[in-house]
Amino acid sequence: MSIKNLDLEKAAWFSFLSSLVYKKETEIKQFFESEGIGIVKFLDKDGTQALMYSSNTEVAVVVRGTEPTAFKDILADLNIRKKKAKADTGKVHAGFQESLDDIWREVISFIDNHANGPDGKDIYFAGHSLGAAVATLAAFRCPRVTELYTFGSPRVGNSTLIKANKEITHWRFVNNNDLVARVPSFLRWTHHGKRVYINHKGKISGVTGVRLFWDLCKGHASSWMRLKFFDSFSDHSIVNYYEHIRNN
């Protein structure tokens, strides 16, 4: 999968929605009304939240990320037990799968009702942080997926699970020193999709190896010079992801 095929306008749209899903339901409704999208549904089951919409051409599911004040979210992030993947081969992060289980029935029902008619609408999944992990597993379960956009996603499963879903087009954005994109341990877990790296200047870059290491160091140094000593956490902000992608 070449990064040349990446649609940055679509990426900006889903990074914005991944920030919008943190807002109040009334604010979200107002936005979709202004966009002329009338079919919108909100999910909130046992702490797992998402928005779903159906436009003339597409259906999308955007999963909310980690809310630091929500105890269940923290438990999901810390629950690193491996568990057999549902309707798939391989093992998954147990906490992420359990979060998806909370909403899956309504997700697939919405897709069946709005995307599988004669129009053949495109189907998208997106999310940030914990929401990115849940969106990834949802895409694995869905019979048909157009594209998956994630921002600051942790690793979701083992190599067997990732290989079983390698055909899914997944644009996995990583903003410089985002700490969440580097957990759980790479010794037991594997990332899915095409990494789209945002360097310390906010530009999409294909650097790897030593050049990547130096860019990460520059990101820390730049943050420290501005007296911001928690670069790994600020780089995880979905607002920063959206700003960088929009500017690109």
For the chain, which residues score pLDDT lower than 50? 71, 74, 229
- Report pLDDT digits (tens) over 119-150: 689 999 999 999 999 999 999 999 999 999 99
Fold of 3-247: Rossmann fold (3.40.50)
pLDDT score recorded for residue 69: 55
Backbone angles phi, psi at 64, to 5 degrees: -70, 145
pLDDT score recorded for residue 79: 58
The helix/strand/coil state of 218 is: helix
pLDDT score recorded for residue 211: 79
pLDDT score recorded for residue 118: 63
pLDDT score recorded for residue 82: 73
Q: Are 25 and 42 in contact (CB under 8 A)?
A: yes
Q: Find tokens 């979905």 and name the residue.
A: 238
Show the 3-state SS of 122-188. Answer: EEEEEEECHHHHHHHHHHHHCCCCCEEEEECCCCCECHHHHHHCCCCCEEEEEECCCCHHHCCCCCC
pLDDT score recorded for residue 60: 98
pLDDT score recorded for residue 226: 58
Q: If we measure between CA atoms, which residue out of 100, 110, 198, 112 comes closest to residue 141?
A: 100
Q: Provide the token pair at 78.
A: 């810390």
CA distance 103 to 213: 38
